[in-house]
Amino acid sequence: MSDAPHPESKGHLGYYIEHGISPVTYRTDDIGAHFDRRDSLYRSLGLPPIAFKGADVLEVAPGSGQNSLYVAACAPASLTLVEPNPTGRRDIAAAYAKLRVAHTEPILIAETLQRFAPERRFDIVICENWLGGMPNELNLLAKLAGFVAPGGALVITTVPLAGFFPNIMRKLLALRLVPADMSFERKTSVLIEAFGPHLATIKDMTRSHRDWVHDCLINPHYLNVSLPLELVLRTIGTELESMATFPRFATDWRWFKALSGPNRRFNETLLDAAGRNTLSFIDYRRTFPERPSAENAPLEAAFAAIHQLALDWQPAVEGGDQLRRDQLTNRIGRQIGEITRLLATADHELAAAIHELGAIWALPAPAIADVNGMKLFSGVFGRESVYVSFTRPRSQGGKVQSGDSNG
């Protein structure tokens, strides 16, 4: 098995390979607690342990493989892990070497999803925190959906823009704190110092601050991970029906006897619920009463606008275009002000936190002390990873879809 990178090794994968990292390792010294967390997640998505027993399971981009340990311990008939990152594969081997409970040995495939071409479908397909909303990645999402057998399940993560907003801004602040020519290790230490107090507010965090900084702040492709639910449903919604989410934000009071044919509308019902709950995605510590989607629309538009500005601002910074950078910096500041204004009508505490962010952003040259000294915004982390499970109705048959082999 060669560790040579594939021609498709770009984006997140190319960054990981360049630096020899797989920044998704968790603390699993208490394997029981780790299994409890995974069980809590999957049961909320409609997949209790019995769903995995005897099933053919595929996980794409498992990273360190630690999450797959729980699935392996549920005794699936087969467990296929597709991971092209050499560091990730070494972490997977090490994780299974230490596993002391009965489990199914995984089949580890050193391949990209672009090149992966199974001859069969799978009962359960999992892909967490990897695919974003770029056109090539949406093609890969469609390909992934094609691997799900009739009656089977797909588990993915979406990234709503409201939940992404706090870390969009941390990414942009990070780019202002560390010049492009600073060494990788020096960037790491500076950003851990700057954002360590922010991360310290997350009580149940299982990833190291170092890995989080590598994956979210230094990763040049981080801003591309945004994946709104609407894009997901537009890509796979004609094939698969939504089952559940975590966190749970949708209720469905319809009578089950009415849910046949065109009245099923599970995807549309979920999307409408997401639109009513925009506020609750912004800060993971709090939930807010639902509001009509139309009332949340200006806030959703503001988050979309700041994401696009961030995508434009990053290359201006990295390319040394000072005029363009200054123009976009001012526009981002104004957009933070607009978000503050919109939030003020809903919650003064959250609005005050974003106002503090705007004050730091307005500084000519924010320093480490400015960022790690933030009092209100430091604890604001969005519900950035929203898990969604889908199923392929049994009435659908057909062959495995090849997807876009060029990614």
Please indicate, yes or no, whether residues 51 and 105 belong to a single structural domain of this protein: yes
330 located within any domain? yes
Question: For residue 1, what pLDDT is reported?
Answer: 34
Is beta strand 148-158 parallel, antiparallel or unpaired with respect to 386-391?
A: antiparallel
The per-residue pLDDT for 401 is: 47
What tens digit of pLDDT does each residue of 227-244 get? Answer: 999 999 999 999 999 999
CATH number at residue 49: 3.40.50.150
Residue 212 shares a structural domain with residue 335: yes
- Say if residue 209 is in the same domain as residue 76: no
In this structure, the answer to whether residues 149 and 168 fall within a common structural domain is: no
Predicted pLDDT at 27: 82
Residues 340 and 220 in one domain: yes
Per the domain annotation, does 247 fall within a domain? no
> Is there a single domain that holds both residue 60 and residue 208?
no
> Is 92 part of any domain?
yes
Give a yes or no: residue 333 inside a domain: yes
Contacts 24+ apart (CB under 8 A), 192-200: 193/368, 193/372, 194/368, 194/371, 194/372, 195/170, 195/371, 195/372, 196/372, 197/372, 197/373, 197/374, 197/378, 198/170, 198/371, 198/372, 198/374, 198/377, 198/378, 198/379, 198/381
Single residue among 105, 128, 158 that ends a domain in this structure: 158
52/175 same-domain check: no
Neighbours of 256 (CB within 10 A): 7
47 in the same domain as 185: no
Q: Which of 151, 144, 104 is nearest to 128 (CA)?
A: 144
Between CA 397 and CA 146 the distance in angstroms is 10
| pTM beyond cutoff 0.85 | yes
Q: Let me know if residue 252 belongs to a domain.
A: no
Residue 192 is assigned to a structural domain of this protein: yes
Domain boundary, last residue among 101, 128, 158 = 158
Q: Which domain holds residue 212?
A: 162-224+284-379
Same-domain status, 154 and 178: no
| CA separation, residue 366 to residues 21, 301, 360, 372 (Å) | 28, 27, 6, 11
Determine the pLDDT at residue 402: 45
400 located within any domain: no
- 184 lies in the same domain as 66: no
Asked whether residue 183 falls in the same domain as residue 317, the answer is yes
Non-local CB neighbours of 188 within 8 Å, separated by 6+ positions: 210, 213, 214, 218
pLDDT value at position 225? 94
CB 300 within 8 A of CB 161: yes
Q: Which residues, 6 or more positions from 337, have their beta carbon under 8 angstroms from its beta carbon?
A: 358
Position 8 scores a pLDDT of 44
Q: How many structural domains is the chain composed of? A: 2
Q: 171 with 93, same domain? A: no
Ranges of the chain whose pLDDT falls below 70: 1-10, 396-407
Residue 230 covered by a domain: no
